[in-house]
């Protein structure tokens, strides 16, 4: 799988999700032209995977109504090696995604029964079975697939989620041959010790499993959790430009881990230096201007650390 | 040493520095009565050490002009087991601190020549020698002492600071019998891999050395650095209520790691559950009200994670 090869060569695979997880949380709908400008900037930065949007009902999530059109603009005459991903939650979304050129399908089910019922009208078992079926259909259509467990570290409705429940879902995915697995901290409840333990347990389930992490910064732990996930062996990281997005269960806009903040610290370690931090900062600053407020990222405000010599 | 015993029994020693590192960064001077109210709240929370203020020239730092008086109010008839600390940068400060009942003297010199010259008018070698002499005088007076290396992870003026320069200062402290050693990330340049490496090197210098860490959140790495320091064996942690304070080299108020955010995550791990998070949240919320703006802490805004059962 191409993703594996890239993760292997670069150690860390960067998946930008701001156009989806960020913009779906904003009350104002961002015009298509602005989304296209940000997507161009992100493509130019050298991110590995960029999530363009989600395929959900436009009446329910008007922020994502133009996802199909945005994909078409960039997939018809693609110049960047970045993989374009789309979030799909049901069969109808899969159909739309196949029609407009999605390259990586991100599909997921929640580990929380309440969260699952509220989001999909189905309990976790039924939702999981349908997601597995949709993922298999995407693979049959020649597409890459990432499957996720939402609310894997705790739920805004239910509170703690048992690790066994998460592992049961991961075993179901792996048993269906779906080995590119993301654990998402939908509520932001994850803490580093838990992150290291749970990802360690997931990776121990099989040598073919590759893990992606997705942390919300609701309680100020997003970046610490990224490092805990790295330590556990996670190699793919979802982040959002300017730290847009975050937990849907609280009114506080605590955001995702900001892409440019994560790339900044990786580059302090000497990693991923070919990614253009300047391009990422430009997109983040433009987003702050567009929304007219301080966003959650740090480095777009402070500027990067000026390192005159190697540390 | 009492501190050692406490760190041993509780694993993690909590040192609240908001009244000093937080308030010195605020353009408005906080009235004595308000400081006293926050100090009372912090004492009631069960923090191990609370920094009351610094002993610097009142004309230079008017925010700290009433440090002596604030100490006297609380040391004359002390009801809490918390240790009250004060920051001292010269002999005059030591004299003032001894006169008003400081229990733990925090003294430090910068690893950056430029930072040292700007702050003290002395280069690092001279500043270090004077700090060591003052620390010995404090010990001779029967006081506890913590010595620090400021700008240990990078400098806002000079950029990178060589690890050997930091280790040289630590060896000088240890050689003088000063084993309670703090590394402060004055500029916020520290990143987790560096933190783990440098604290590891410091702790390897001698079995008697105990380390404290102090991170500014300028680039969004404060909390991740706290976890890296824990992993390296650091047992004492400086934080600031509501995340007040931070890097003096940038105009951006990126803050310290917020005390209540750190206690919150420790309690998710089952640690320090006897500390009253509610009391800390009350102080942080009152600070946000007092300053009339959003401060950097997360949990005082979101409220703690509601854990219905053990995670």
DSSP of A120-142: HSS-HHHHHHHHHHHHHHHHHTT
B261/chain A closest Cα distance in angstroms: 7
**In Å, how far is B244's CA from the nearest CA of chain A?**
14
Mean pLDDT of A27-48: 96
Q: Chain A to chain B, count of Cβ pairs less than 8 Å apart?
A: 113
What mean pLDDT do residues B72-90 have?
A: 91
The yes-or-no verdict on residue B21 having pLDDT over 80 is yes
CB-CB under 8 Å, A254 with B298: yes
Specify the DSSP class assigned to residue A258. B
ipTM reported for the complex, 2 dp: 0.94
Helix segments in chain A, DSSP class H: 2-10, 32-45, 67-75, 91-100, 113-120, 124-140, 163-175, 192-203, 222-232, 259-268, 277-291, 299-302
Q: What confidence score (pLDDT) does residue A237 get? A: 98
- With tokens 């690890």, the residue in question is B163
pLDDT for the residue B253? 64
pTM confidence score? 0.94
Residues of chain B found within 8 Å of residue A269, distances taken between Cβ atoms: 191, 193
Choose the closest CB to A302 out of B193, B250, B264: B250
Q: In this complex, is the C-beta atom of A219 within 8 Å of any C-beta atom belonging to chain B?
A: yes
| B1 against A23, higher pLDDT | A23
Return the pLDDT at B246.
78
Percent residues over pLDDT 70 in chain A = 94
Cα(B299)–Cα(A15) distance, integer angstroms: 27
pLDDT grade for A1, boundaries at 50, 70 and 90: very low
Across the interface, whether the CB atoms of B268 and A309 are under 8 A apart is answered no
Pairwise CB contact (< 8 Å): A301 & B252? yes
Nearest chain A CA: its distance from B136 CA (Å): 33
User: Stretch B205-214: mean pLDDT, rounded?
Assistant: 95
Q: What is the pLDDT of residue B7?
A: 42
- Report the pLDDT value the prediction gives residue A79, as an integer from 0 to 100: 82
Query: Checking phi first, is residue A32 left (phi over 0); if not, alpha (psi -120 to 50) or beta?
Result: alpha
Q: Is the Cβ of A168 closer than 8 Å to some Cβ of chain B?
A: no
Is A293 an 8 Å CB contact of chain B? no
pLDDT in tens, B120-142: 899 999 999 999 999 999 999 99
Residue from A227, A229, A243, A253 to probe the interface with B (highest B Cβ count within 10 Å): A227
Residue A38 pLDDT > 80, yes or no?
A: yes
The model's pLDDT over A238-253, given as tens digits with 9 standing for 90+, comes to: 999 999 997 776 666 6
Query: Who wins on pLDDT, B246 or B307?
Result: B246
Contact A223 B220 (CB under 8 A): yes
Confidence bin at B303 (pLDDT 50/70/90): very high
- Residues of A acting as catalytic residues: 247
CA distance A77 to A86: 18
Mean per-residue pLDDT over chain A, rounded: 92
pLDDT in tens, B142-180: 999 999 999 999 998 999 999 999 999 999 999 999 999
The pLDDT-based confidence of B8 (bands split at 50, 70, 90) is very low
pLDDT digits (tens, 9 = 90+) for A288-303: 999 999 999 999 999 9
| Torsion B259-B31-B102-B128 (CA) sign | positive
Tell me the mean pLDDT in the region A273-282: 98
Among the listed ranges A64-68, A140-144, B72-76, B96-100, which one has the minimum average pLDDT value?
B72-76
Is the per-residue pLDDT at A5 higher than 90?
no
Q: What helix, strand, coil percent values describe chain B, rounded to 5?
A: 45, 15, 35
- Candidate from A252, A269, A305 with C-beta closest to B154: A305
**Which residue is closest to A249 within chain B, CA to CA?**
B302
Q: What is the pLDDT of residue B3?
A: 44
Which tens digits make up the pLDDT trace of A140-195?
Answer: 999 999 999 999 999 989 999 999 999 999 999 999 999 999 999 999 999 999 99
State residue A254's pLDDT score: 74
- The rounded distance, in Å, linking the Cα atoms of B223 and B229 is 10
Q: Do A298 and B224 touch (CB under 8 A)?
A: no
Residue A307: predicted pLDDT? 58
Task: Say if A291 is an interface residue toward chain B (CB within 8 Å).
Answer: no
Q: Which residues in B lie closer than 8 A to residue A268 (C-beta atoms)?
A: 191, 194
Q: Which of A252, A261, A305 sits opposite B301 (nearest CB)?
A: A252
Interface test with A, best of B227, B267, B270, B297 (most A CBs within 10 A): B227
Query: What is the model's pLDDT at position B231?
Result: 97
Give the C-alpha separation, A273 to A284, whole Å. 19
Beta-carbon separation of B302 and A227 below 8 A: no
- What is the distance between the alpha carbons of residues A212 and A257, in angstroms, rounded to a whole number? 14
* Confidence category of residue B11, pLDDT binned at 50, 70, 90: confident
Q: Do A306 and B220 touch (CB under 8 A)?
A: no
The pLDDT score that the predictor gives to residue B75 is 87
C-beta separation of B14 from B47 below 8 A = yes
Query: What does the alpha-carbon distance between residue B258 and residue B266 come to, in Å, rounded to a whole number?
Result: 13
Question: What's the residue count for chain A?
Answer: 311
Of B92, B174, B169, nearest to B127 (Cα)?
Answer: B169
Instruction: Flag whether residue B192 sits within 8 Å of chain A, measured between CB atoms.
Output: yes
CB of B81 less than 8 A from some CB of A? no
Query: Are A307 and B160 in contact (CB < 8 Å)?
Result: yes
Buried b (16+ CB within 10 A) or exposed e, B160-183: bbebebbbebbebbbebebbbbbb
pLDDT tens digits along B220-271: 999 999 999 999 999 999 999 999 997 776 666 678 999 999 999 999 999 9
Arithmetic mean of pLDDT over chain B = 92
Q: Determine the distance in angstroms separating the CA of A50 from the nearest CA of chain B, rounded to an integer.
A: 23
Residues in B 119-158 with any Cβ partner in A closer than 8 A = 154, 158
Nearest CB among A154, A191, A305 relative to B265 is that of: A191
Question: Does residue A287 register a pLDDT over 70?
Answer: yes
User: Once rounded to an integer, what is the mean pLDDT over residues A63-92?
Assistant: 93
A204 lies within 8 A of chain B by CB: no
Contact B309 A160 (CB under 8 A): yes
A181-240: pLDDT as tens digits: 999 999 999 999 999 999 999 999 998 999 999 999 999 999 999 999 999 999 999 999
Cβ separation A298–B159 shorter than 8 A? no
CA atoms within 13 A on the CB side of B128: 24
Domains in chain A, ordered, with CATH?
Answer: 2-302 (3.20.20.70)
Give the model's confidence band at B309: pLDDT under 50 very low, under 70 low, under 90 confident, else very high. very low
Chain A: closest CA distance from residue B215 (Å): 13
CA nearest to B161 within chain A: A311
pLDDT value of position B9:
45
| Residue contact B194–A268, C-beta within 8 A | yes
CA distance B302 to chain A (A): 6
Q: Do B265 and A310 touch (CB under 8 A)?
A: no
User: Closest-CA residue in chain A for B153?
Assistant: A311
Contact A221 B217 (CB under 8 A): no
**B301 close contact with A: CB closer than 8 A:** yes
């Amino acid at each position: 799988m191409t993703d594996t090869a890239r993760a292997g060569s670069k150690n860390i695979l960067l998946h930008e999700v701001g156009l989806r997880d960020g913009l779906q949380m904003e009350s104002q709908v961002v015009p298509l032209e602005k989304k296209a400008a940000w997507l161009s900037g992100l493509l130019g930065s050298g991110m590995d995977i960029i999530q363009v949007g989600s395929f959900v009902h436009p009446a329910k999530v008007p922020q994502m109504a133009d996802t199909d059109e945005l994909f078409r603009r960039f997939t018809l005459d693609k110049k960047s090696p970045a993989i374009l991903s789309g979030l799909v939650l049901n069969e109808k979304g899969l159909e739309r995604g196949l029609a407009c050129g999605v390259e990586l399908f991100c599909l997921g089910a929640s580990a929380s029964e309440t969260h699952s019922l509220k989001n999909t009208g189905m309990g976790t078992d039924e939702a999981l079975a349908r997601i597995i079926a949709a993922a298999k259909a995407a693979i049959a259509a020649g597409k890459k697939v990432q499957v996720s467990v939402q609310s894997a570290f705790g739920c805004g409705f239910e509170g703690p989620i048992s690790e066994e429940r998460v592992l049961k879902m991961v075993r179901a995915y792996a048993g269906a041959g779906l080995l590119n697995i993301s654990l998402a901290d939908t509520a932001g409840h994850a803490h580093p010790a838990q992150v290291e333990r749970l990802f360690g347990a997931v990776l121990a389930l099989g040598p073919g499993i590759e893990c992606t992490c997705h942390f919300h910064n609701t309680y100020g732990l997003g970046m610490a959790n990224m490092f805990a996930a790295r330590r556990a062996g996670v190699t793919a990281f979802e982040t959002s430009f300017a730290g847009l997005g975050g937990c849907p269960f609280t009114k506080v806009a605590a955001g995702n881990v900001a892409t440019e903040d994560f790339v900044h610290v990786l580059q302090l370690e000497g990693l991923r230096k070919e990614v253009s931090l300047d391009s990422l900062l430009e997109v983040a600053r433009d987003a702050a201007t567009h929304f007219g407020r301080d966003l959650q990222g740090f480095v777009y405000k402070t500027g990067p650390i000026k390192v005159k010599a190697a540390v």
